[in-house]
Structure 1
Amino acid sequence: MVALAIMAKAPVPGFCKTRLMPALGAEGAARLQAWLLQHSLAVARASGLRPLQLWAAPDIEHPLFQALARPGDVRLQAQFGHDLGMRMLYVFTRAQGPLLLIGTDCPPLTPALLLECAACLETHDAVFLPAEDGGYALIGLQQPQPELFVGIDWSTERVMAQTRERLTALGLRWQEPAVVWDLDRPEDLQRLPPGLLTAALESPLETEC
């Protein structure tokens, strides 16, 4: 069974989606993060992959994290590590078997695509969904591979290219079923379906889900 984990920042103004603040303001960016978090968890639940994990930053105390985990089908845990690579590696070192790890920044992610990625781990060591900006929106591993998370220029267009070099050097077999886009920059907002951004900006920051 392939588990599924989501890494997410709390929807706190000024803490999340800071690159979108010039377009949306601090509160607008936080409301969009709240919507992205709920959307990502809904897609994860619809995939049927279990167990589900929600790795929260800066901690698990935000009311929206607590509300989303309340049905009892999500294990809520706090992120740990000094950079993105170490936080991702920490998640994989706590896995009990094959694991897919996603963030909350990829609206085009679907349950079918998650299942396709999970199937890749039946025959390969790793699976990735490269992002158009040079990073990746999903990483899946049969087992922890610490070398994939050290010495990578995180949050740059070099992430996926450097990761491919590391995969090759380690002799790992991997697949890339699709290329997706992330919602990171103001220009990415234009890719959302009409009306969705308006609805997202009305997303609650607290306990309603």
Structure 2
Amino acid sequence: MPDPVSAPPYSILNPASPRTELQGLCALAVMAKAPRPGKVKTRLAPPLTLEQSAALNVCFLRDTTANIAQVQGGVGVLCYTPVGDEAAFTGIAPPGFSLIPQRGDGFGERLHLAATDLFACGFGSVCLIDSDSPTLPHTALQQAVNALSEPGDRVVLGGSHDGGYYLIGLKQPHVAPFERITWSTEFVFAETLERCAEADLNVVPLPTWYDVDDGATLQVLAAELLDGARPHFATVAGYDAPHSRVFLADLASAGEVSWRPANVTSAQ
């Protein structure tokens, strides 16, 4: 990671001060917690320690933001929590990223208010992206931005294999997709589709991918990055995620973790 002392700080977006240069651009906003041990990716401990889990979370953020930085028509943003811990992100994302604080109580409210604030900043469309999918296919990100650039209102939704979603994209700050959702369950994706249908919102689906949030999905990630074994449900190739790959390889080389075979098929 770049030295936080020498790395330039990211600008903080202010919804009360919209920027005209953002018109027509899509905010690719990663919903991120400050990567502090015991505060992020705690379900990865074990097999990792809390310190290793936080360090891997930094790798996830670095890979996700590097992937985003290559998307045409998109602008990278870290939508972060908690307020006051901005320095924890210094040097993690590429130049050109901005910060915007999360607000609200429940997860659905935080997502809706994040989209609302980003639209108020001047963006023409918004994608909210999880920080748990470091190999998220670049083609899926570009597909989302392209779909949101087309005329007419729509929602873009990238479903996760566990029943949640890794990305939701909007052209307007609709609240319906975030209401009456049983968050952190296998029903999130299906219920979001239901809320969109009730609001007469057309949904553009993205390829199914996965979140790394426990030991089993960490094994899937290790198989993908270290063995080139594509997840069995994947229809497209994932992003290489070099920071996460090196971190996992170093753990295995040091004998700290043994990566067991996961439910995968070899990439073609």
Q: What range describes the TM-score normalised by the shorter chain of this pair?
A: 0.7 to 0.9
| 1:87-98 alignment, distance < 5 Å | 87-94=110-117, 95=119, 96=122, 97-98=124-125
- Do 2:158 and 2:209's aligned partners in 1 also have CA atoms closer than 8 Å? yes
Cα root mean square deviation, aligned: 2.2
1:8 partner amino acid: A
Q: Confirm whether residue 106 of structure 1 aligns to residue 133 of structure 2.
A: yes
1:76 partner amino acid: L
Match of 1:86 among 85, 109, 120: 109
After superposition, give the CA deviation of every residue in 1:89-136 in whole Å (9 maximum; x if it has no partner): 111101232111101111231332211111222255100110000000
- Does 56-65 or 10-19 show the bigger shift? 56-65
Please name the residue that 2:61 is paired with.
Answer: 37
Distance 1:133 1:70, change over 3 A: closer
Q: Confirm whether residue 3 of structure 1 aligns to residue 32 of structure 2.
A: no
Match of 1:140 among 169, 182, 190: 169
Please name the residue that 1:199 is paired with.
Answer: 246
Q: What is the distance in 1 between the residues matched to 2:53 and 2:86?
A: 16
Which structure has the highest helix share of the two? 1
Match of 1:115 among 127, 139, 142: 142
- Do 1:3 and 1:50's aligned partners in 2 also have CA atoms closer than 8 Å? yes
Unaligned 5+ runs, structure 1: 204-209
Give the TM-score, by structure 1 length.
0.88
Q: What is the distance in 2 between the residues matched to 1:59 and 1:160?
A: 29
- Do 1:55 and 1:76's aligned partners in 2 also have CA atoms closer than 8 Å? yes
- Do 2:164 and 2:187's aligned partners in 1 also have CA atoms closer than 8 Å? yes
Rg bigger for which structure? 2
Count residues with an aligned counterpart.
202
Please name the residue that 2:199 is paired with.
Answer: 170
Fraction of identical pairs, as percent: 35
Distance 1:147 1:198, change over 3 A: closer
Distance 1:102 1:60, change over 3 A: farther
Q: What is the distance in 1 between the residues matched to 2:47 and 2:72?
A: 35
Higher relative CO (Cα under 8 Å, sequence separation at least 6) belongs to 1
Give the TM-score, by structure 2 length.
0.69
2:215 partner amino acid: P
Please name the residue that 2:159 is paired with.
Answer: 130
- Do 2:80 and 2:102's aligned partners in 1 also have CA atoms closer than 8 Å? yes
| 1:17-32 alignment, distance < 5 Å | 17-32=41-56
- Does 178-187 or 89-98 show the bigger shift? 89-98
Q: What is the distance in 1 between the residues matched to 2:40 and 2:184?
A: 14
Please name the residue that 2:82 is paired with.
Answer: 58
Distance apart, 1:77 and its partner CA: 1.8
| 1:143-154 alignment, distance < 5 Å | 143-154=172-183
